[in-house]
Amino acid sequence: MLIEKIKSDGLAHLSYLIGDGGKAAVIDPRRDCEIYVKRAREHGLEITDIFETHRNEDLISGAPVLAEMTGAKVWHGPNADGEVRYAETVREGDCFAFGDIELRVLETPGHTFDHVCYAIHDKGYEDGAVGVFTGDALFVGDVGRTDFYPDQAEKVAGLLFDSLRKIEALGDQAIIYPAHGAGSVCGSGMASREFSTVGHERKNNPRLQIRDRDEFIAAKVAENHYYPPYFNTMERLNLVGGDAAPRIDLPPVLTLDELAECDADRVVDVRPITSFAGAHWPGALSLPESMISAFAGWFLDEDDRLALFAEAEEQAEAAAVHLRRIGYDRLVGVYTGLAPAVAEGKPFARIAYVDHETVAERLDEGRNDWTLLDVRAIDEVEDYAMEGAEHIYVGELNKRLGELDCDRHYTTMCASGARATVAAGWLASNGFEHVDIFLGSVGAWRAHHD
Amino acid sequence: MLIEKIKSDGLAHLSYLIGDGGKAAVIDPRRDCEIYVKRAREHGLEITDIFETHRNEDLISGAPVLAEMTGAKVWHGPNADGEVRYAETVREGDCFAFGDIELRVLETPGHTFDHVCYAIHDKGYEDGAVGVFTGDALFVGDVGRTDFYPDQAEKVAGLLFDSLRKIEALGDQAIIYPAHGAGSVCGSGMASREFSTVGHERKNNPRLQIRDRDEFIAAKVAENHYYPPYFNTMERLNLVGGDAAPRIDLPPVLTLDELAECDADRVVDVRPITSFAGAHWPGALSLPESMISAFAGWFLDEDDRLALFAEAEEQAEAAAVHLRRIGYDRLVGVYTGLAPAVAEGKPFARIAYVDHETVAERLDEGRNDWTLLDVRAIDEVEDYAMEGAEHIYVGELNKRLGELDCDRHYTTMCASGARATVAAGWLASNGFEHVDIFLGSVGAWRAHHD
Amino acid sequence: MLIEKIKSDGLAHLSYLIGDGGKAAVIDPRRDCEIYVKRAREHGLEITDIFETHRNEDLISGAPVLAEMTGAKVWHGPNADGEVRYAETVREGDCFAFGDIELRVLETPGHTFDHVCYAIHDKGYEDGAVGVFTGDALFVGDVGRTDFYPDQAEKVAGLLFDSLRKIEALGDQAIIYPAHGAGSVCGSGMASREFSTVGHERKNNPRLQIRDRDEFIAAKVAENHYYPPYFNTMERLNLVGGDAAPRIDLPPVLTLDELAECDADRVVDVRPITSFAGAHWPGALSLPESMISAFAGWFLDEDDRLALFAEAEEQAEAAAVHLRRIGYDRLVGVYTGLAPAVAEGKPFARIAYVDHETVAERLDEGRNDWTLLDVRAIDEVEDYAMEGAEHIYVGELNKRLGELDCDRHYTTMCASGARATVAAGWLASNGFEHVDIFLGSVGAWRAHHD
Amino acid sequence: MLIEKIKSDGLAHLSYLIGDGGKAAVIDPRRDCEIYVKRAREHGLEITDIFETHRNEDLISGAPVLAEMTGAKVWHGPNADGEVRYAETVREGDCFAFGDIELRVLETPGHTFDHVCYAIHDKGYEDGAVGVFTGDALFVGDVGRTDFYPDQAEKVAGLLFDSLRKIEALGDQAIIYPAHGAGSVCGSGMASREFSTVGHERKNNPRLQIRDRDEFIAAKVAENHYYPPYFNTMERLNLVGGDAAPRIDLPPVLTLDELAECDADRVVDVRPITSFAGAHWPGALSLPESMISAFAGWFLDEDDRLALFAEAEEQAEAAAVHLRRIGYDRLVGVYTGLAPAVAEGKPFARIAYVDHETVAERLDEGRNDWTLLDVRAIDEVEDYAMEGAEHIYVGELNKRLGELDCDRHYTTMCASGARATVAAGWLASNGFEHVDIFLGSVGAWRAHHD
């Protein structure tokens, strides 16, 4: 009897392979889904069913592609906003057997209306669920966000409260297998730990400590969440079923001439932030590999044709995986090697890092041609704000660009300097010429000035 | 916060890497322990501590080797029969922190006197243990065997009863991480499932349903367990600390001449049983890769020099790993290719498979020069015995060889034919010339004759 | 500047990746062609051109699939029997540049009418070719077979003679890169060495020692070659362009019931020959992984639906690769585990190996209900024949089955016992009940009786 | 019959595995030599002999370690300056057989006095050598340097001339297998192509076009070569035999505190140059992974204890391999993550890249507090010098530091900016505070100003 977690870093997305007696099921597969087939075979299992806990907003479901690969059926909860075309509908109490494993459906609306959980029972040891796939209803240390239906905010928060009670009713002994871990945009307070039980959450999860329904609704409605524009694309694709990624999903190698002449809408620099700051292709956007999942969807349009700028092929390939998981397939190619490009006569740009002393001096001077621009999330700013800083969340820079003056000098900052570099790259790519970055940002500031 | 299970097939041994905040610990490492270092590094963790739940009988502990590799400290429970030279002693209530993880020691004697468990707490979510490393005290669906101190059988069974209560006191929500899964010789009733919680075991584990101490003791004392001779070697090595396996731990490639002339004490045929039956090197012992862990220790002496006979290099390498985990390091080399050897003029032997009809005929004939030899474990025979069969457990064939007559015709049988092939190979290598194997064995018999 | 050999074992097929300055070409790609893209990328190269030396008879060309994957152009020689639909035509003297590499076309008909070679020049070091892709014209130690146009046998042998002179004219310094190594069915006298030069071949290759055109023609026309039926399929596919192999090219895992009930035309046992002899699924054909390339095409029909019987998944996957390279895509699934099947009540069959003494006895007895059946190639029999043996080449057993009597007792033999096992399996699957196999065969015989 | 090239990037070192009939030899193994054992086994070969072509100056020979691993004998040429303790001596005409392969020794002094070549013959095809291991005598497009015995410069150049004639005498058909490819410090004019023959070199290699001995000597004596200080260490170790690298050869993971407090002699930043320029640990030396082999030996002392600063663990591990190949084993650990360190309050440094326009302006201004410092090799400067630049080879900065003024403003330059970054890092780590780097360097300059 097998259960295996397949994690997608960046998205902090957790999917699962479960099987026994030669048959297997996959819960919430991602788009690049060969891995499920491979792992199943290593255990002598054939995938016959695919279960979704809900319609994902933050990634493309691999269910339709995996179904086509394997002939498996796809199952999805009721009450989807539109018809999920590639899936059949499960309802409360439906049971599915894989050898001695039995999955039982619990309808658990709240995060979305169509959300279901799947309790895991072992027919050989029948007393109580062994575990439960909790999707985006219950995480380790947090519960799902409930901001996707702004006009029904209280209703869905209340539904989630009821759903959590249903999960608790499985008993303390049930292990929880959520759809996301820490770092996901689908919750803000998750623990870094990825193993827990209903019982441990019941005792420790802050949101489960609120036992009053109204109090819970009030708390959920007061939460701040960001909604990147690409979520709309994901929602749409996860109803109709996204295409499979291209068979050879590696972007072609570009020569320097090909990069210079290609008609990409964006050059995306996937190198680490310090490399970008040191020197970069003029106009490139900084989206280091580890930040693509969280930030690409704020800056790139669904149909953008992208050229990747990387240190090495492997880095570009890893970046391409992240891009494809959220639907960016139009990769015109990858170029590596900045110094060689410049040595061929091409121009370069750079953005300076400045330290806490420089920022302190500028603040002291009270310069009026300069703005310290804090691009952290609102929750972080509420937690600790730097006096003198202006706030625009990095993800909202695109839509709020009009609030900024491209002749002004901006120093971007965040918690450490990473998002500040992405922000600075975005500004520079939009014609802002006087931009630098506070490396260390709030961290460094508090270490030296608090 | 990471927890990762590292499983050793064959032994069905489970070890764990756990870490947070840059620091990691390993619980019950196996001898080939580079994997722990590798996995820790992939997560940016440095191994600083190694914990043993008890002195292992069935495998060589990797603790001393891993300690030398990493500089980590080794910890072991109190009451070891002798001093565990490479370890320091932990006691009830001792705590160890790795970032936000806290491990707390529970003394849990029973399986062995020195047995301890390690409860896992998360400092960020403090109410109740998240999990517990249960060693050989509590498995999924079973508890540890208590036959290692025959003169104190009731005492240790009682100690285990008490220890299990201590584990239950951690609460239903605690996930259990045992040292063995199904297939291990350290327990006979384990579930094939490798994930469970204290709560699910409390409700379902047959041994935990016995709530009366005396009744529990009686049940444990009545259990049948086999004790292969190599356990003594393991016990000794796990007190003084086994050597590291050789750096290049691949047995050299042998030419046919080198095989023919080498002074190996045994030629061990690690090919599948059907290959062995079809044709094999005369005198070779059949120990297919997947059966080495369970059966090599019954037939091979601690100091035997072994030549491996394999289909291919990779098979021999996999076999060598299994042999080394239980201390057989003296591998003089590996030879591949039976047909080429015979085509060079070398002799071969074979052992015929016979089917249920042939066995039925012989039984009907009441032949008195022939014995149907059942080599299953006593529990299996008690569960279902074939009329007319004589019983000697495969592992005891060596010691009870004197009870058999090498001029007699034997047909070996077990549940399917696998152990029967090992048994037949052993008999043939000891001069028995009239041996064949009942393929399908009890399974086939019951399918056709019950 | 890169040149890399990609070898397909079994077929002993050699293909090449060559590149410089960001651009690469592939010579004679196989059907499973992701590897070329992968390797090219590892070197920062983009594949822009694919070259075929001739229309292959023994495998499916990967050119059309690779072209679709990469957008590369495919090039093929003139005088193809029909139009090679996926390729453009190259002619004597055509040049192609990849950075400093220049490939120059030599028309070299003989093996086939459309055969060309590609000389490799380095623009930075211009005096003389560095190497030459010789396809099936010139091998290490042999030259191509010329039996594909039986009614023009002398003509094509003469063309080959002329083509070899053209290759020699490149100079002793040119390294040769042929399309096959030892073990290929495209030549019988190849050296096991896979590196050589025009100069070393000129001095040592037996066929290049014949300097008289008529003498050469006579020698070639006198050669014996076998022509397996699947060659016709390959020829056809390599004109129109074979389909890509399925994206998930792993046959599904079969349960025992699924195996028993599937409508496969053949169960193909891909385990080693000794496993097959020991015990096998009744009716299964023995085609161990390493013999598929050479022998599957004699026994399997183009449209056969195949079930694979293997020791383990990996073995089946490796077998599937070999099957797909020669066009057998209809894999209904794979089953592993013979003993478990028999233990479920399923029947099994076995075929005994006999040794040289037994064969000698039977020959001495002059038994007239028994035939020693030599299944080696005619060249081998002409080299050394065993008195008393009848000869039918293993590959021709299918078509000459009518010459055998299924009530008769046959002992199959070859050089070692491998092909004899395939032959015995074929006979058994066709209802011959009295078959055994001379293990060691001619090798053992000569070691003991010569 | 197998020949396989094992390449070590960075050093551009080529070693070879050759084998037949179950036995293999390794030519010029590198220090991390598990790979030879692994590859040999994959081909069913056992390594019995190790051949060195000469005493290496640029890397640690793996011969003594590989010999210990495998029990193989090590062979080395005569006339070594001191006794090569781990090797036996071969002499002109000595023969070694591995199956059908025969290696024949040619004494070929010149690059070093002890230099030998090994001609490869195939016993089955005896007319002429198939190939030859040419060590550092003959490369593709170049011949070995002869500057290691400054007081006998003409003598050794003459010896090399004679040795090259001996290699030519093997015949045009012999494939050459040299010990280095393009990028090695052991020759300056090598082709990027790594395959060639004696014949192709005879016709194209510039040094083989000089047929007059005196003219050849004059040309060799006029060459410029650099001799990094670590060469002395290599020479010494390659006489006595270097130790094996540590078994777990991964530097430990450092926390930020551990990095800050460790007693490393040097923090080596192995990130790409643009990352270093963007922001780095103050005092760190820039030695990106791909430049370690060529430059570490100029800046690091034999006994330096090194801390590595990397983007990720894998990068540090790759860097560690390069460091260990040239003897830097004292790795105290690796730290990853610059922005997190700064966010913890640690300081950082950066070095600005400037472009060709800025450099042009400064040159025009004729600033006298500023120096454009060209760190290319003398051959490059002789080929094209930038007016106004001062020249010190990057490798000699350490020894010639006294010629520079740490209060002066320096702009470093090279061909592209890579070596200029290493140079700038070195100056900064030595207290130079006014340093920037001309990105694009001579390449950009010539593109815009020539």
The pLDDT tens digits of the residues spanning C172-208 come to 999 999 999 988 887 778 999 999 999 999 999 999 9
| Alpha helical stretches, state H, C169-240 | 198-204, 213-221, 230-240
Q: Quote the minimal CA–CA distance from B97 to chain A in Å.
A: 15
The answer on A369 and A318 residing in a single domain is no
Contact A421, A276 (CB under 8 A): yes
| Residue C118, H or E segment | strand C116-122
Kindly determine whether residue C195 and residue D203, on different chains, have CB atoms separated by under 8 Å: no
Kindly determine whether residue C313 and residue A250, on different chains, have CB atoms separated by under 8 Å: no
- B78 pLDDT exceeds 90? yes
pLDDT digits (tens, 9 = 90+) for B402-423: 999 999 999 999 999 999 999 9
Query: Which chains share 3+ C-beta pairs under 8 angstroms with B?
Result: A, C, D
Residue indicated by tokens 């009530």? C407
C38 is written with which tokens? Answer: 């992968």
Report CA A84 to chain centroid distance, whole Å. Answer: 22
- C85 pLDDT exceeds 90? no
A245 is a domain residue: no
Contact B192, B142 (CB under 8 A): no
Establish if D389 touches chain A: CB-CB under 8 angstroms. Answer: no
pLDDT digits (tens, 9 = 90+) for D406-444: 999 999 999 999 999 999 999 999 999 999 999 999 999
B91 is a domain residue: yes
The answer on D206 and D313 residing in a single domain is no
The answer on B373 and B232 residing in a single domain is no
Tell me the residue length of chain D.
450
The answer on C423 and C356 residing in a single domain is yes
Establish if C342 touches chain B: CB-CB under 8 angstroms. Answer: yes
Measure the CA–CA gap between B350 and A151, rounded to whole angstroms.
78
| Alpha helical stretches, state H, D336-417 | 338-343, 356-365, 378-383
Kindly determine whether residue B69 and residue D313, on different chains, have CB atoms separated by under 8 Å: no
The answer on A50 and A194 residing in a single domain is yes
Tell me the Ramachandran region of residue A91: left when phi exceeds 0, alpha when psi lies from -120 to 50, beta otherwise. Answer: beta
Which residue is closest to C121 within chain D, CA to CA? D200
Give, as one character, the DSSP assignment of residue C61.
B
Measure the CA–CA gap between C434 and C409, rounded to whole angstroms.
5
Measure the CA–CA gap between B339 and C275, rounded to whole angstroms.
12
Kindly determine whether residue B353 and residue C272, on different chains, have CB atoms separated by under 8 Å: no
- D244 pLDDT exceeds 70? no
Flag whether the ipTM exceeds 0.90: yes
Contact D127, C205 (CB under 8 A): no
D416 is written with which tokens? Answer: 């592209």
Establish if D128 touches chain B: CB-CB under 8 angstroms. Answer: no
The answer on A306 and A433 residing in a single domain is no
| B14-23, C62-71, D116-125, range with the lowest pLDDT | C62-71
pLDDT for position C53: 98
- D34 pLDDT exceeds 80? yes
Contact A439, A373 (CB under 8 A): no
pLDDT for position B45: 94
Kindly determine whether residue D448 and residue A345, on different chains, have CB atoms separated by under 8 Å: yes
A107 is a domain residue: yes
Kindly determine whether residue C191 and residue D1, on different chains, have CB atoms separated by under 8 Å: yes
Measure the CA–CA gap between C165 and D222, rounded to whole angstroms.
44
* Last residue within a domain, chosen from A343, A378, A396: A343
- B246 pLDDT exceeds 90? no
Longest dimension (CA), chain A: 73
Split at pLDDT 50, 70, 90, the class of B333 is very high
pLDDT for position A243: 63
Query: What SS3 class is residue C191?
Result: coil
Contact B163, B108 (CB under 8 A): yes
Instruction: Please list, in sequence order, all residues whose beta carbon lies within 8 angstroms of the beta carbon of residue C427, skipping any fewer than 6 positions away.
Output: C397, C404, C406, C410, C412, C435
Residue type, D248: I
Which residue is closest to C440 within chain B, CA to CA? B343
Establish if A444 touches chain D: CB-CB under 8 angstroms. Answer: yes
Kindly determine whether residue A192 and residue B100, on different chains, have CB atoms separated by under 8 Å: yes
Contact A280, A415 (CB under 8 A): no
- A196 contacts in chain B (CB < 8 Å): 130, 175
- B248 pLDDT exceeds 60? no
Average pLDDT, chain A: 94
C248 is a domain residue: no
Establish if A169 touches chain C: CB-CB under 8 angstroms. Answer: no
Question: b/e map of A80-103 (b: 16 or more CB within 10 Å)?
Answer: beeebebbeebeeeeebebbbbbb
Kindly determine whether residue A342 and residue D439, on different chains, have CB atoms separated by under 8 Å: yes
pLDDT for position A188: 73
A63 is a domain residue: yes
- A342 contacts in chain D (CB < 8 Å): 355, 416-417, 439-440, 443-444
Kindly determine whether residue B345 and residue C443, on different chains, have CB atoms separated by under 8 Å: yes
* Last residue within a domain, chosen from D240, D272, D292: D240
**What's the CATH code of the domain at B312?**
3.40.250.10
Report CA B288 to chain centroid distance, whole Å. Answer: 14
- Mutate which of D200, D207, D208, D209 to disrupt the C interface (most C C-beta within 10 Å)? D200
The count of other CB atoms within 10 Å of the CB of residue D277 is 28
Split at pLDDT 50, 70, 90, the class of B249 is low
Kindly determine whether residue A22 and residue C313, on different chains, have CB atoms separated by under 8 Å: no
pLDDT digits (tens, 9 = 90+) for D195-222: 999 999 999 999 999 999 999 999 999 9
Of D271, D339, D416, the CB nearest to A340: D416
B249 is a domain residue: no
Query: Which chains share 3+ C-beta pairs under 8 angstroms with D?
Result: A, B, C
Kindly determine whether residue B336 and residue D44, on different chains, have CB atoms separated by under 8 Å: yes
Report the domain count for chain A.
3
Establish if C164 touches chain B: CB-CB under 8 angstroms. Answer: no
Residue type, B184: S
Residue type, A267: V
Establish if A344 touches chain C: CB-CB under 8 angstroms. Answer: no
Measure the CA–CA gap between D419 and D291, rounded to whole angstroms.
9
Query: What SS3 class is residue B3?
Result: strand
pLDDT for position C126: 95
Which residue is closest to C441 within chain B, CA to CA? B343
Establish if A342 touches chain D: CB-CB under 8 angstroms. Answer: yes
The count of other CB atoms within 10 Å of the CB of residue D369 is 9
Output the CA–CA distances (angstroms, integers) from residue C126 to B47, C71, C100, C122, D139, in the order listed. Answer: 58, 30, 10, 6, 17
C270 is written with which tokens? Answer: 């891909």
Averaged pLDDT, C45-65: 94
| A339-343, A429-433, B81-85, D300-304, range with the lowest pLDDT | B81-85
| A311-320, B229-238, C222-231, range with the lowest pLDDT | B229-238
Kindly determine whether residue C277 and residue B279, on different chains, have CB atoms separated by under 8 Å: yes
The answer on C335 and C356 residing in a single domain is no
| Residue A381, H or E segment | helix A378-383
pLDDT digits (tens, 9 = 90+) for C291-322: 999 999 999 999 999 999 999 999 999 999 99
Kindly determine whether residue B41 and residue D313, on different chains, have CB atoms separated by under 8 Å: yes
Establish if D197 touches chain C: CB-CB under 8 angstroms. Answer: yes
pLDDT for position C242: 64
Residue indicated by tokens 């009366």? B212
Please count the residue pairs, one from chain B and one from chain D, whose beta carbons lie less than 8 angstroms apart: 45
Q: What pTM was computed for the model?
A: 0.94
| B216-225, C243-252, C428-437, range with the lowest pLDDT | C243-252
Contact C44, C37 (CB under 8 A): no
Kindly determine whether residue C248 and residue A44, on different chains, have CB atoms separated by under 8 Å: no
Average pLDDT, chain C: 94
Averaged pLDDT, D274-301: 97
pLDDT digits (tens, 9 = 90+) for B342-394: 999 999 999 999 999 999 999 999 999 999 999 999 999 999 999 999 999 99
The answer on C427 and C383 residing in a single domain is yes
The answer on C364 and C330 residing in a single domain is no
Establish if B434 touches chain A: CB-CB under 8 angstroms. Answer: no
Contact D168, D202 (CB under 8 A): yes
The answer on B125 and B262 residing in a single domain is no
Strands D23-27 and D13-20: antiparallel
3-state SS of C127-180 is: CCCCEEEEECCECCCCECCCCCCHHHHHHHHHHHHHHHHHHHCCCCCCEEEECE
Percentage of chain B exceeding pLDDT 70: 98
pLDDT for position D339: 96
* Last residue within a domain, chosen from C240, C274, C290: C240
Measure the CA–CA gap between C82 and C89, rounded to whole angstroms.
12
The answer on C443 and C408 residing in a single domain is yes
Measure the CA–CA gap between A106 and A165, rounded to whole angstroms.
11
Half-sphere exposure of D431 (CA within 13 A, CB side): 7
Establish if A183 touches chain B: CB-CB under 8 angstroms. Answer: no
Kindly determine whether residue C199 and residue D175, on different chains, have CB atoms separated by under 8 Å: no
Of A126, A175, A192, the CB nearest to B195: A175
pLDDT digits (tens, 9 = 90+) for A30-72: 999 999 999 999 899 999 999 999 999 999 999 999 998 899 9
- A40 contacts in chain C (CB < 8 Å): 253
What D365-369 contacts at long range (C-beta under 8 Å, 24+ apart), as own/partner pairs, is D367/D409, D369/D408, D369/D409
Establish if D102 touches chain C: CB-CB under 8 angstroms. Answer: no
B75 is written with which tokens? Answer: 């910890």
Give the burial class of C420: count Cβ atoms within 10 A of its Cβ; 0-12 exposed, 13-18 middle, 19 or more buried. Answer: buried
Which B residues, 39 through 68, put their C-beta within 8 Å of a C-beta on chain D? 40-42, 44-46
Which C residues, 144 through 163, put their C-beta within 8 Å of a C-beta on chain D? none
pLDDT for position D241: 74
The segments of chain A whose pLDDT lies below 50 read: none
Establish if A4 touches chain B: CB-CB under 8 angstroms. Answer: no
Measure the CA–CA gap between D23 and D17, rounded to whole angstroms.
10
The answer on B151 and B13 residing in a single domain is yes
Q: Quote the minimal CA–CA distance from D421 to chain A in Å.
A: 11
Kindly determine whether residue B339 and residue C417, on different chains, have CB atoms separated by under 8 Å: yes
Averaged pLDDT, D170-186: 93
Q: Quote the minimal CA–CA distance from B122 to chain A in Å.
A: 8
What is the 3-state composition of chain D as percent helix, strand, coil, each rounded to the nearest 5? 35, 25, 45
Average pLDDT, chain B: 94
- B247 pLDDT exceeds 60? no
Percentage of chain D exceeding pLDDT 90: 88
Q: Quote the minimal CA–CA distance from B202 to chain C in Å.
A: 34
Establish if B336 touches chain D: CB-CB under 8 angstroms. Answer: yes
Which phi and psi angles does B239 have, rounded to 5°? -95, -45
By residue range, what is the domain housing residue B339? 256-343
Establish if D183 touches chain C: CB-CB under 8 angstroms. Answer: no
A249 is a domain residue: no
- Mutate which of D248, D262, D332, D344 to disrupt the B interface (most B C-beta within 10 Å)? D248
Establish if B439 touches chain C: CB-CB under 8 angstroms. Answer: yes
Give, as one character, the DSSP assignment of residue B236.
H
- D377 pLDDT exceeds 80? yes
Kindly determine whether residue A271 and residue D276, on different chains, have CB atoms separated by under 8 Å: no
Contact D273, D286 (CB under 8 A): yes
- D247 pLDDT exceeds 60? no
Output the CA–CA distances (angstroms, integers) from residue C217 to C115, C165, C212, D335, in the order listed. Answer: 18, 14, 9, 71
